[in-house]
Amino acid sequence: MTSPLQPRSRPLAGIRVLDFSTLLPGPLATLILAEAGADVLKVERPEGGDDMRGFPPAFADAAGHNFALLNRGKRSLALDLKQPAAVERVRQLACEAHVLVEQFRPGVMARLGLGHDELSRLNPRLVYCSITGYGQAGPMAQVAGHDLNYLAETGLLMLAAGADGTPPVPPGLIADIGGGALPAVINILMALREAERTGRGRHLDVAMTDGLFAWSFWAQGEIAAGCGAPKPGSGLLAGGSPRYQVYPTSDGKFVAAAPLEQKFWQNFCAAIGLDRKLADDGGDPAATRAAVARIIAGRTAEHWRQAFAGRDVCCAVARTLDEAMCEPHFRDRGLFAAQIVGPRPVPALPVPLATCYRDAGDAKPFPRLGEHKSWAEEMSQT
């Protein structure tokens, strides 16, 4: 039985967010703010709006599923920022806003007359968040890029390289989310708290590449200790240890094994029947890794799921995404309870909010391009 979520709190109720961002980093950040109660007014160009509207698969009214997922519960205002009247309209809205989020290259908003210096004179409490790949200043500030480029520039991509030295294309947009959206939310919340205390906002320079270096803390520790950068396929967390590996099963599935600590490793070795000599993996980890691989490959994924059940082994059989979305544990936690209003209800994107801040089955629409003029209008529920 699915357990009900706690009564929802909306800690950001009354906070108004003026959102100029597109695609993923900024829209995910403002989605998190919106789900916590903020009123987000998305400013889009009249011709086509946010590029994400046109990305397949299609959802409704020429908007794609990805756009609907990232912009549930927001408003949309269509403005041509090359027109003086539109710029003046933004200035008026900025006087009412608590937060502004933009994702242009450094200097673009200032050239439009909408930079931090200009708007902070109109609204000193405004928290102005700029999300870019490389930051507002520095030799690479104007360089165009996407998630994969940011991973490559910060060394994170090569840490994922296999034994042959070839890095994979990551399945998740780590820079956009972990280096952009989440740091933006964290810093916006801190700046709002500061503005409450001091009456002054901040210009937040959120660079996705800056945010990525925290992800490589383990490898940075090895470098600082004089061990050098981990070689491809080596290191405790990058393929060199039998205690942190993905092992194929006999039926083409995979066991994700992470029994790092000795107590988990001992339980794991007992569960798979590994020879005691090989269980001491300090001398020849490659031999131990090969032996574990042979054992895991000799049985099905279901065999290992049952063998590991009820044991502290830090192991899991890898699920596909659609399998994970149907897993009772995640359903019971209400991750997919909220919905997006459209031609047919679809689950909303679960955002990283505690259950007390998460919608308990609410259905909200995504905004049609330009359907709103200000925060004062009620969101359409059809």
Residues marked active site are found at 146, 176
Q: Count of CB atoms within 10 A of residue 253's CB?
A: 17
Pairing of strands 16-19, 99-102: parallel
* Angle subtended at Cα 106 by Cα 105 and Cα 111, rounded to the nearest 5 degrees: 100
Going edge to edge, which strands form the sheet with 339-341? 346-347, 339-341, 363-365
Q: Which residue has 């309870």 as its token pair?
A: 337
Q: Alpha-carbon Rg of the chain, whole angstroms?
A: 24
Q: Which residues contact 224 (CB under 8 A, 6 or more apart)?
A: none
